[in-house]
């Protein structure tokens, strides 16, 4: 019997199924493999079957975990070719996990403000500096978005991938690293807005931005990105106002219900007057003595 070829990545001892655990595991293992020289930036990763066996994870959990790593900028997945470690994977993976998830508690309002201050300028720089690989990634994100009609996870991932590609296409390395810091907060924002609009609404903004970048029209790219982010901000504000109104209506309705029940249970005196509880009567009595 032919002996199974041993993977250079090692042999997983158990199977993990939770996507977040798998993602965390992959980040830690890639950190170690890069540090040990087993993998180098730009290297092609083994097929999914080998990766799953080597890391001791289920393939069904490996795929979404790899997608998260692609969004973070650790790897690039090429259709029909496989996955590659990005050349800057070492710097991305060197960021502590705690820092990557630091902005989980960032408010959507704060994130909206920061994105409006930053992303229009990055879109303008992308129009000036994007190379063929950046353009291809932007196009792929839109194709993925178009094909995500019944898959909300894919829709959110494709939306975030579009914005990551613009960060990268700006040619500013600090901007690229900043994305790795705020991507979790951006993901939360996109998950909210994706529930408020249909697929075509997002494509309505993404397609023209891509065209502006392809045409090297920095001013138009910046203006279109501003429109996109203002729309997202307004959607969030409108949603929050609706939620506040709903909570207020529920609160008022609950209050009326309590008052109705209370009016039916308050004891009456023989003269038909409401009996004042002893505690309140004592307070009134003491106040008359002051």
Based on the fold, state whether residues 126 and 139 are members of the same structural domain: yes
Pair 138, 166: CB distance under 8 Å: yes
Q: What is the pLDDT of residue 104?
A: 44
Based on the fold, state whether residues 136 and 216 are members of the same structural domain: yes
| Token pair 């792929």: residue | 140
Q: Is residue 164 over pLDDT 50?
A: yes
Distance CA 233, CA 22 (A): 32
Based on the fold, state whether residues 81 and 179 are members of the same structural domain: no
Q: Is residue 14 over pLDDT 50?
A: no
CATH code at position 24: 1.10.10.10
Based on the fold, state whether residues 101 and 238 are members of the same structural domain: yes
Q: Which residues, in sequence order, are CB contacts of 55 under 8 Å at separation 6+?
A: 9, 10, 12, 16, 22, 25, 26, 29, 62
Look at residues 93, 119, 137 and tell me which one is the last residue of a structural domain.
Answer: 93
Q: Alpha helices of 73-172 — where are they, by DSSP H?
A: 89-93, 97-100, 108-129, 132-146, 152-169
Condensed to tens digits (0 to 9), the pLDDT of residues 119-160 reads: 999 999 999 999 999 999 999 999 999 998 877 777 888 898
Based on the fold, state whether residues 186 and 106 are members of the same structural domain: yes
Q: What is the pLDDT of residue 1?
A: 47
Q: Is residue 12 over pLDDT 50?
A: no
* Tokens standing for residue 161: 């991938």
Based on the fold, state whether residues 89 and 102 are members of the same structural domain: no
Compute CA distances 175 → 11, 69, 189, 226, 260, whole Å.
37, 18, 19, 17, 59
Q: Is residue 170 part of a domain?
A: yes
Q: Which residues, in sequence order, are CB contacts of 186 under 8 Å at separation 6+?
A: 111, 115, 160, 163, 179
Quote the number of domains for the chain: 2
The overall pTM is greater than 0.95: no
Based on the fold, state whether residues 130 and 86 are members of the same structural domain: no
Q: Which residue has the higher pLDDT, 286 or 35?
A: 35
Look at residues 242, 257, 276 and tell me which one is the last residue of a structural domain.
Answer: 242
Q: What is the pLDDT of residue 279?
A: 40
For the chain, give the number of residues. 290
Q: Is residue 18 over pLDDT 80?
A: no
Based on the fold, state whether residues 83 and 113 are members of the same structural domain: no
CATH code at position 168: 1.20.120.530
Condensed to tens digits (0 to 9), the pLDDT of residues 49-98 reads: 898 888 778 888 788 778 877 876 778 888 888 889 888 776 656 554 44
Based on the fold, state whether residues 207 and 105 are members of the same structural domain: yes
Based on the fold, state whether residues 110 and 62 are members of the same structural domain: no
Q: Is residue 143 part of a domain?
A: yes
Based on the fold, state whether residues 74 and 130 are members of the same structural domain: no
Percent of the chain with pLDDT over 70: 67
Condensed to tens digits (0 to 9), the pLDDT of residues 258-278 reads: 566 666 655 555 544 545 444
Handedness of CA 5, 7, 12, 18 (dihedral sign): negative
Q: What is the pLDDT of residue 273?
A: 52
Based on the fold, state whether residues 101 and 89 are members of the same structural domain: no
Q: Is residue 273 part of a domain?
A: no
Q: Is residue 234 part of a domain?
A: yes
| Token pair 């307070």: residue | 283
Mean pLDDT score of the chain, rounded to an integer? 76
| Structural domain range at position 74 | 19-93
């Amino acid at each position: 019997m032919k002996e199974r070829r041993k993977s250079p990545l090692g042999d997983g001892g158990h199977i993990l199924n939770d996507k977040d655990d798998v993602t965390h595991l992959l980040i830690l293992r890639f950190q170690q493999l890069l540090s040990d020289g087993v993998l180098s930036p730009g290297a092609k990763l083994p097929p999914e079957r080998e990766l799953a066996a080597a890391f001791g994870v289920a393939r069904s959990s490996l795929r979404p975990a790899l997608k998260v790593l692609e969004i973070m900028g650790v790897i690039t997945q090429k259709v029909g070719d496989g996955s590659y470690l990005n050349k800057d994977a070492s710097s991305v993976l060197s960021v502590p996990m705690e820092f990557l998830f630091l902005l989980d508690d960032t408010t959507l309002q704060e994130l909206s403000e920061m994105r409006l201050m930053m992303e229009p300028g990055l879109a303008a720089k992308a129009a000036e500096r994007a190379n063929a690989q950046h353009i291809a990634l932007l196009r792929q994100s839109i194709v993925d978005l178009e094909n995500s009609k019944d898959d909300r996870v894919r829709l959110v991932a494709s939306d975030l991938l579009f914005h990551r590609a613009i960060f990268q296409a700006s040619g500013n390395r600090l901007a690229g690293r900043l994305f790795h810091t705020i991507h979790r907060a951006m993901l939360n924002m996109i998950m909210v807005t994706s529930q408020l609009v249909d697929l075509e609404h997002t494509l309505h903004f993404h397609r023209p931005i891509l065209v502006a970048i392809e045409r090297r029209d920095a001013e138009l790219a910046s203006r279109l990105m501003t429109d996109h982010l203002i729309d997202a901000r307004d959607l969030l504000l409108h949603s929050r106002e609706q939620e506040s109104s709903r909570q207020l209506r529920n609160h008022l309705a609950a209050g009326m219900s309590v008052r109705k029940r209370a009016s039916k249970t308050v004891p009456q005196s023989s003269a038909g007057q409401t009996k004042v509880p002893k505690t309140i009567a004592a307070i009134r009595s003491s106040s008359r003595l002051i």
